Amino acid sequence: MEETISIKELFQTLRKRILLIISVTLIAMIVSGVISYFVLTPEYKSSTQILVNQSKEDQSVYNYNEVQTNVQLISTYSVILKSAAILNEVKKELNLDISVSELNNNISVESTQNSQIMTVSVIDTDPVNALKIANMVAEVFEKEIKEIMNVDNVTILPLANDQENKSPISPNPPLNIAIAAVIGLFLGVAIALLLEYLDNTVKTEQDIEKLLGIPVLGAITTIDENFDAKTREKNNGRMRGAS
């Protein structure tokens, strides 16, 4: 019974402060939209793939052990690809005005389990720059790995093209606004409940009963002056008619 009353009171509080909740939610959505569309810088992504596979004259011969060796080498190749030896050369070739550390942070290397293919992705605020860096990283890696590890088992698959990075990958305004709406809704509810908790004024007979623990025997209501004047006028008319 107490739980039912508490839930009822909760909904009454939310209904009483519904305008506050809606206002906080709308403000959060507007702020998120403004930041997403006008403040955050769009970022673009370009990718290229590298195949780790020993070149042979007879490609029909399948050697399971060689494939597994190539797969195991991918983790090593991923580290080398993002090393200063490779990235310094990329910086030099493209004349990039960023540090090796910043370039490293913009590059990611992924590989599917038991796959001989590495996917090199580059994120940049300029889509053309992202494309150039992705392709150059692959080219430099293919050239340098032969000297670093004395191997010849790296092949660049078709290079990244400018068709895949037309749209920015971030920010995502619709998603940001949706998240802001949820956060704003919870924040509005929290503020409404907090204000209700801090409000210790007495407004109704029920508040008096809760505060004093005694039943209310009577109440003085507010009398409308216009209504009171009309009532007196009406009563005076009746009295004159009676006389």
pLDDT digits (tens, 9 = 90+) for 124-167: 999 989 999 999 999 999 999 988 888 788 888 876 565 556 78
| Rounded Cα distance, 123 and 44, in Å | 5
| Rounded Cα distance, 9 and 31, in Å | 32
Range of the domain at 147: 44-156
The predicted model scores a pTM of 0.69
Of 160, 161, 143, nearest to 152 by C-alpha is: 143
53 and 151 housed in the same domain? yes
**CATH number reported for the structural domain that contains residue 129 in this entry:** 3.30.70.1130
Instruction: State pLDDT tens for residues 187-225.
Output: 999 999 899 888 777 666 666 666 676 776 666 666 656
pLDDT over 80 (residue 81): yes
User: Edge-to-edge strands of the sheet including 44-52?
Assistant: 107-111, 117-124, 44-52, 154-156
Burial class of residue 52, CB neighbours in 10 A (0-12, 13-18, 19+): buried
Quick check: 141 and 50 in contact, CB under 8 A?
Answer: yes
Q: Which of the listed residues 102, 123, 156 is the one where a domain comes to its end?
A: 156
76 and 109 housed in the same domain? yes
Question: Is residue 163 in a domain?
Answer: no
Average pLDDT over residues 20-36: 96
| Rounded Cα distance, 96 and 103, in Å | 9
Question: Is residue 106 in a domain?
Answer: yes
78 and 120 housed in the same domain? yes
109 and 133 housed in the same domain? yes
Region of 94 please: left (phi>0), alpha (psi -120 to 50) or beta. alpha
Question: Is residue 7 in a domain?
Answer: no
116 and 184 housed in the same domain? no
94 and 149 housed in the same domain? yes
**What residue type is assigned to position 179 of the chain?**
I
70 and 91 housed in the same domain? yes
95 and 34 housed in the same domain? no
60 and 17 housed in the same domain? no
Question: Is residue 59 in a domain?
Answer: yes
pLDDT over 80 (residue 76): yes
59 and 94 housed in the same domain? yes
Domains of the chain: total: 2
Question: Is residue 240 in a domain?
Answer: no
Q: Which of the listed residues 132, 156, 180 is the one where a domain comes to its end?
A: 156
Average pLDDT over residues 154-181: 82
Question: Is residue 2 in a domain?
Answer: no
Contacts of 134 (CB under 8 A, 6+ apart): 46, 47, 48, 120, 121, 122, 159, 160
Q: Which of the listed residues 156, 180, 211 is the one where a domain comes to its end?
A: 156
51 and 127 housed in the same domain? yes
